[in-house]
Amino acid sequence: MSTKVYGSGADRVGVRQITPNIYWICHCAGAEAARLNRGFASDFARVNPKFDPEANDIIYSSYLFLDDKTFLIDTLGPAQHKTVLEALADLLGDRRLDYLWISHTELPHAANTAAIRRAYPEVEVLTVGGHDHYEVHGLGDAKQLDYGDRVELGQHSIEIIEPLFVDHALTQWIYEHNTGFLCPVDWALNAHNEHQCFRFMDEMEEVGYSAERFGHDVSITNCVVFAWLRWADPDQVVAAIDRFYDKYDIRIFAPSHTNVIRENLPQYLGALREAMRVAVTRDYGIVH
């Protein structure tokens, strides 16, 4: 596992190469996660004994494409202000940052927009269109995109796609057609312990993780992330996921708060599908 790490604790950021031209820029607090996150995993473990009580860390992710044009997905959170800029400087070198895409206006995703714009003043900021209050989030002059819009980088063709699971009204997902890279933003959140930081999902299996564990995690965490699931129909949710899987050839599954999945996709996507059925049907009274 080759990871370049910047900072420690709340500002700790690691960089992993997913493909020769796609990089994962990831925040994990590591050994300090239990203190910084106040041991939230124990609450999840209380209602689901299959949840790892040591899993006190949640990933914040950004992704950088290096092609004829460069493209950054999201910005990490305010605590990673310094380290994300250091990571970008190392990855870009003397290249410009052409595009910064903001999935939705929440701190783990958009907090460093202004700082990145200062560091790369020629960057074009992209975000979801059709809403108000862009100025509040530093997106007043951002180019507003719609579902189906594409950004051509060279060898990579990025499409803005409609999300299955919406965290905020201002939410989009991204699919890259040549690599099968999907960033579904807040879908499929999993927690991890300090020994699983900066690992791809297949590498987590070396330290006690599994697709089954992933399913248990998601069935709990998505009840919190998408509280509206309590009113959803489980059959309709699963049918929508099946249609989505049929439409998109997912070969790299790269959410904002989940360890990147680059191998055994059918196994993990199958576990995710069933986890969402459980998330819809479970007893919400014990989750909150």
CB within 8 Å of 21: residues ≥ 6 apart: 65, 66, 67, 155, 156
Q: What is the per-residue pLDDT across 85-111, written as a single tens digit (0 to 9) for each?
A: 999 999 999 999 999 999 888 778 888
Tokens of 11: 């500002």
1 vs 112 pLDDT, higher one: 112
pLDDT in tens, 201-226: 999 988 888 999 899 889 888 887 88
What percent of the chain has pLDDT above 90?
Answer: 62
Q: Which residue has the tokens 């689901």?
A: 48
Strands 99-102 vs 124-128: parallel, antiparallel or unpaired: parallel
Q: How far is CA 54 from CA 32, 61, 175, 227, 238, in A?
A: 12, 21, 33, 24, 30
Q: Which of 30-39, 62-71, 257-266 has the least mean pLDDT?
A: 30-39
The token pair that represents 146 in the structure block: 């719609």
Q: Under the phi-then-psi rule, with left for phi > 0, alpha for psi from -120 to 50, and beta for the rest, what region is 33? A: alpha
Q: Tell me how long the chain is.
A: 288
CATH of domain 4-286: 3.60.15.10
Say if CB 116 and CB 122 are below 8 A apart.
Answer: no
Instruction: State how far the Cα of 58 lies from the Cα of 227, in Å rounded to an integer.
Output: 18
Digit-coded pLDDT (tens) for 122-150: 999 998 877 766 776 777 788 889 999 99
> Which residue is it, tokens 């050839």?
249
Cβ–Cβ < 8 Å for 2, 199 = no
